[in-house]
Every structure is written in structure tokens, then in C-alpha cells.
Amino acid sequence: MQHLSIFPVLIPLLFGALMLLPPISRNIQSQRIASIVGTLLLLVSSAFLLYQVNNQGVQLYALGGWQAPYGIALVVDKVSSLLVLLTSFLAFTIMLYAVAGQDKGGAYFHPLFMFQIMGINGAFLTGDIFNLFVFFEVLLIASYALLIHAGGKQKTQAAMHYVILNLVGSSLFLFGLGILYGTLGTLNMADMAIKVGQLEGETATLAKTGSLLLLVVFGLKAAMLPMHFWLPKTYASATAPVAALFAIMTKVGIYSIFRVYTVIFGDNAGELANIATPWLWPLALLTITMGSIGVLASPSIRTLSANLVIVSSGSLLACAAINSEAATSAALYYLVHSTLASAGLFLLADVVARQRGKAEDRFVHSRPFVQPKLLGFAFAISALALIGMPPLSGFVGKIMILQATQSNAQTMWVWPLLLIGSLAALITFSRAGTTLFWRHNGTMATSAEPAKTAEIISIAMLLLASPVLVLLGGDISEFTQQAAFYLHDIQSSAYDLLPGVAQ
Amino acid sequence: MEGLYAFCVGLLTACGVFLALRGRSFSVVIGLTLLSYAVNLFLFASGRLKLNAAAVLGQSEEYSDPLPQALVLTAIVIGFAMTAFCVILAMRARADLGNDHVDGTLPMQPNDAASKSEGNH
């Protein structure tokens, strides 16, 4: 399958466009069927793509036959195919949840969802930094509209901040791109990685400015410390399926940081080698700290989940700052785990909120649940996974990160912060669990109805991914190690992609 | 030419950043528009400034870099779409929240605070 590489971008694009056409656009039922079929197709093709990459190595897809570095290229390596598979799985499970009724809140939920998936997959696959910008904008404009899905004052208020911040971020992205193009004369990531080593003196300083501007932009998407204030409010006010899909959005920023600062500005960048590390290191640690404080202060499950997203972003950024193969491999494993687990918690929070009437998902006394055992069990699993308690994948991921620290200084900072962060999560989760499930009064809300089967299946799929990640832990960590090796090896991540360039 | 060009880009950026930091959504939208103009001009200049040089091979002795022009074209399209969305969102926020402040609530004015504390006495 020569064209398989572009399927993760094409399938959502075509299905999204299809759903805007008359026979389907008027009927929510057929839109739902189209969405489920579309995301299922996407899941199958990305699984097949991963299989192909694993067997045959990196796939280079030149759009329109224009060869890199002049044309636009999609690069499907182990890192990007893993993340595309993760996105597709997430899209399928969230769509399963949304078709149970959450998609009726506003118009065009299904097409927008598809376009956002297209943007995310495109950002993971592209090998060209300008196309990274374009796909960023595609996923952002879809996310702006999805954020205000179902309406309401809170959503508009959160959307205002989110949209303005991201528009400023986009401008900075273009400034950074312009500077890098002006100094390097290319936008293909592999080509940039080769050329950046030759820069000297003033040009190098200029390129450094450009690359640090890019770090600000990626940091904004990844919720790095000074730029994370938009996240809790945005995620907590979004509708459940949208918030769950947003769990992968910060990871797009993290992925870009890994891609740009290990491949282009990595060890081989001459004067500009590892320019991001001195910034990433303190900011990552402070992000973990601030996230943990936020976790302790969370008044509801949704805010708690949003703050846990910040903590996981901080941990991933710390891995990027450690800048070694082991750390990158740990980061990839932890990224998959934290995306799935926090998406599951966002969906669970919605079910909890609907069964408790006015108390919603806040940690206060309220009516008993319609399905206390089922929800309690699901809450316990997601708590174990997100805290990082032994049997589940959070534990394995955190152990891998802790083991990846190399020098004494790194160990001294990362170990306590990560472990105290876990303790904060443990405290909040036990407080939340006891209040939500054990201390209730009055009678059941008459309007409350049990969660629908599709919703339960969707949450179960997301939460059970955690034990599966542990059971298949050996294979997955071997895969992430190979992926990390590829990312750190300039020979394969840059020179092999450009056959015409002399070494 | 370079000096004038750089000055214009810098001025647009400075005005854009200043307006984007204001509290009312209207001035923020204007600020974002100015920023995107500045970005477009800046991207255009990243291929070096040249006079009488077509961006097509064979049209003149010297030719200018065509890539930044393609980039600017894409950036303009995206910038317009984003600004349009931002305008609509600002109008929606004005309708939903009852004021045009980006936070959704008007900050307390100094004389309001003074009159309030007088009322307490």
C-alpha cells in the first residue's frame, strides 16, 4: 500500500466533507453512522500503518510527487505512527461516547470532530515545518468551534481566552518560521537538521531567536508553565467528548518539541546544539509543581483531570529536557498512558455529573448514584492509573521516567517532584472518591437515568487500555525504545530521508 | 529600503502587541489583525528583498525566492479565517456575557472602589 501514509489525513477530511453535504447533513442519525464508520476505518488504517512501519521501516510520502526538500513530504516513522494510532483509537472511543447523545448540543459536531482529527494526524505526520503550522491551524480552528459546542456563558468566556492566546501563538509561530527560513533557506525538518550545523556567528544567533520563538509557541500548546493558565478553565468548561479529545492536544505541542529540539536542534546542531534544554529544564519542573498544586486545589473532577493534564505535560517536558534515548522512550510510553487515562476521566466526570443533579461533579455531598458500583469501580481504575499506583500503566510510565534520569542533579529534582505530584494526586483522588461515593444523602434524583451502554463501553475501552498497556508492556516499551533511537539518530532521522544530500 | 521595511514591520508588530494586550475585545481583534499583517510582511521579507526580480524563472536575469510568497499566501488565507472567527466570537461573547471585556466581567474602576468604600463607612 503505497498511499497508506496519507490515509490518516484523507479519511477524516473526506468523511468531514461528506457530512456537510445535504443528504447526510440534515440527519443526525446518518451523521452518527458516518462518524463511527469513519473513525473505525481510520483506526484500522492507522493500525495497518504502524504494522507497515514496524516491518518495512520509515515511509516517506512525497505529496504530488515533488521530492523533498522542495516538495511537501509526510514522514511516517515509529514515533508518528504510534501517535497517529493513539489519536485514531481516542477518536473512535470518544465518538462512541458522543453518539449516545452528547453530539446533539449544537450544529456540525461530527464534521468539526473529523476536521480536528485530520489536523492532529497531519501535525504528527508532516515532515515540513510550515505544514506543521498549517495543520496546527486546522486543528485549532476546529477546536475553537468544538469548544463552544452546546453553548453557554462559561464556554464563551473560556473560548475567548483560548482563541486569542492561540491566535497570538500562531503569529509567533510564523515569525519563528520566517526567521528560520531566512537563515536556513529550507523548511523541511530533515534538511534543516543537516543545515543548522553550518550556521555561525550572527546567523546562528538569529536562528536561535527563531527556534526559541517556536519553543514559546509549542510551550503554549503543551501548557508549559507561564503559558498554562488557559488550560484548566478551557478543559473544564468544554463538553465531555470535546474535553476528552483535547487530552491529545497538549501532546501535539510535546511531540513538536521532541521533533524540533531533538532532530533539528539536537546534539548535531553545532553552535545551536540543545538550545532548548536550559529553558525546558526549570520550566518543566515548575510545571509539575504548579500542576500538583492545582490538583490539590481542584473542586471538581473535570478541573482535577485538567490539572492532571498539566502535571503529565510537565513530566513529558522534563523527559524532553533530560534529552536521552531512555527518556524519550519513557516519554512516549507515558504519553500514550496519560492521554488515554485522562480522556477516560473526562468522560467519567460527565456521567457522574449527570447522575448527581445540581452538585454535578463537584466534591460535595449530594444524592446517591443510579449506578454506584459501576461508576465507583471505573473511578477507582482511573484513579489508580492517573496517580501511578503499582498494577497499572501510570506506575510503569513513571518508573521509566525515574529510571531515565542520568546525573545526580536530574535525579535530585525529578524524583521528589514526580513523587510528590503522585502523592498530591493520591490525596485528591481519595478525598474525591470518599465524598462522591460514600457520603451521600437524600433520595436519588428522579430525572437521573443510568449511563447508556455505548457510553459505558467507551469509558471501559479507555480505562482498560491501562492494564493492557501493562500486559503488553514489554513489546510496547521495546517499540518506544526503537522509536526513541530513531529520533535521536541523525543518520536515520535526517540523512536517510534526503537521498540526494551528500553527508 | 531594508530599513524602512524593517521599521514598518516593527511598528505594526508593536501596535499589534499593544492592542492585543488591551482589555476590550474590539481592540484585541484589531491588534491581532495588525499582528497578522506584520507577520505576512515579515514572512515576505524572509526571502530577501529585491527590486525588479520576478518570482518566476526565465522572466528576468535575477529572480526572487518564490517560496516566501507561497507561504505568505497561505498565511493570509489562514489569518483571514482566524480573524473572522475571532470577530464572530467577540460578538457572541458581547451578547452572552453582556459586555465586551475579554474576561467576561468588567474590572472594578478606581472611582467605583472609592464610592464602595465610602458606602461601607
Q: What is the pLDDT of residue B57?
A: 78
Q: CB distance B75–A161 less than 8 Å?
A: no
Q: What's the pLDDT tens digit per position in A418-432?
A: 999 999 999 999 999
CB A16 within 8 A of CB A114: yes
Q: CB distance A160–B43 less than 8 Å?
A: no
What is the DSSP-derived secondary structure letter of residue A437?
Answer: I
Q: What is the pLDDT of residue B115?
A: 61
Q: CB distance A174–B43 less than 8 Å?
A: yes
CA A469 to chain centre: 17
A501 — pLDDT class (breaks 50, 70, 90): low
Residues of B in contact with A164 (CB under 8 A): 20, 28, 32, 86, 102
CB A325 within 8 A of CB A488: yes
Q: What's the pLDDT tens digit per position in A336-363?
A: 999 999 999 999 999 998 888 787 888 8
Mean per-residue pLDDT, A26-54:
94
Percentage of residues in chain B having pLDDT higher than 70: 92
Mean per-residue pLDDT, A393-413:
91
A167, A188, A216: best to mutate for the B interface, most B CBs within 10 A? A167
Q: What's the pLDDT tens digit per position in B6-18?
A: 999 999 999 999 9
Min Cα distance B35 → chain A (Å) is: 7
Q: What is the pLDDT of residue A85?
A: 96
- Nearest by CB to A153, from B47, B82, B96: name it: B96
Q: What is the pLDDT of residue A355?
A: 86
Q: Which residue in chain B is spatially nearest to A70 when comparing CA positions?
A: B67
Q: How many domains does chain A have?
A: 1
User: Is any Cβ of chain B less than 8 angstroms from the Cβ of A33?
Assistant: no
User: Is any Cβ of chain A less than 8 angstroms from the Cβ of B21?
Assistant: no
- Secondary structure string (H, E, C) spanning A399-412: HHHHHHCCCHHHHH
In the predicted structure, residue B119 carries a pLDDT above the cut 70: no
In the predicted structure, residue B117 carries a pLDDT above the cut 70: no
Q: What is the mean pLDDT of chain A?
A: 91
Q: CB distance A157–B103 less than 8 Å?
A: yes
Residues of A in contact with B68 (CB under 8 A): 178, 181
Q: What is the pLDDT of residue A445?
A: 63
Q: What is the pLDDT of residue B116?
A: 58
Q: What is the pLDDT of residue A494?
A: 85
Amino acid at B69: Q
* Residue A503 falls inside a structural domain: no
Q: What is the pLDDT of residue A378?
A: 94
Q: What's the pLDDT tens digit per position in A176-187?
A: 999 999 999 899
Q: What's the pLDDT tens digit per position in A107-133?
A: 899 999 999 999 999 999 999 999 999
Please report, in angstroms and rounded to a whole number, the separation of the first and last CA atoms in chain A: 30
CB A428 within 8 A of CB A303: no
Q: What's the pLDDT tens digit per position in B65-109?
A: 888 999 999 999 999 999 999 999 999 999 998 888 988 888 877
What was the ipTM of the complex prediction? 0.90
Q: Is B63 helix (H, G, I), strand (E, B) or coil?
A: strand
Domain ranges, residue A243: 4-497
Q: What is the pLDDT of residue B113?
A: 61
Q: What is the pLDDT of residue B60?
A: 77
Q: Which residue has the higher pLDDT, A366 or A387?
A: A387
In the predicted structure, residue A469 carries a pLDDT above the cut 90: yes
Q: CB distance A164–B39 less than 8 Å?
A: no
d(C-alpha A309, C-alpha A44), whole Å: 27
In the predicted structure, residue A447 carries a pLDDT above the cut 80: no
Give the domains, in start order, of chain B with CATH numbers. Answer: 1-54+62-103 (1.10.287.3510)
* Widest Cα–Cα separation across chain B: 83
Mean per-residue pLDDT, A224-239:
91
CB A116 within 8 A of CB A143: yes
d(C-alpha A253, C-alpha A400), whole Å: 21
In the predicted structure, residue A492 carries a pLDDT above the cut 70: yes
d(C-alpha A367, C-alpha A351), whole Å: 14
* Cell numbers linked to A115: 476536521
Give the torsion sign (CA, A392, A396, A397, A401): positive
User: Is any Cβ of chain B less than 8 angstroms from the Cβ of A71?
Assistant: no
d(C-alpha A391, C-alpha B28), whole Å: 49
In the predicted structure, residue A71 carries a pLDDT above the cut 60: yes
In the predicted structure, residue A33 carries a pLDDT above the cut 70: yes
* Residue A502 falls inside a structural domain: no
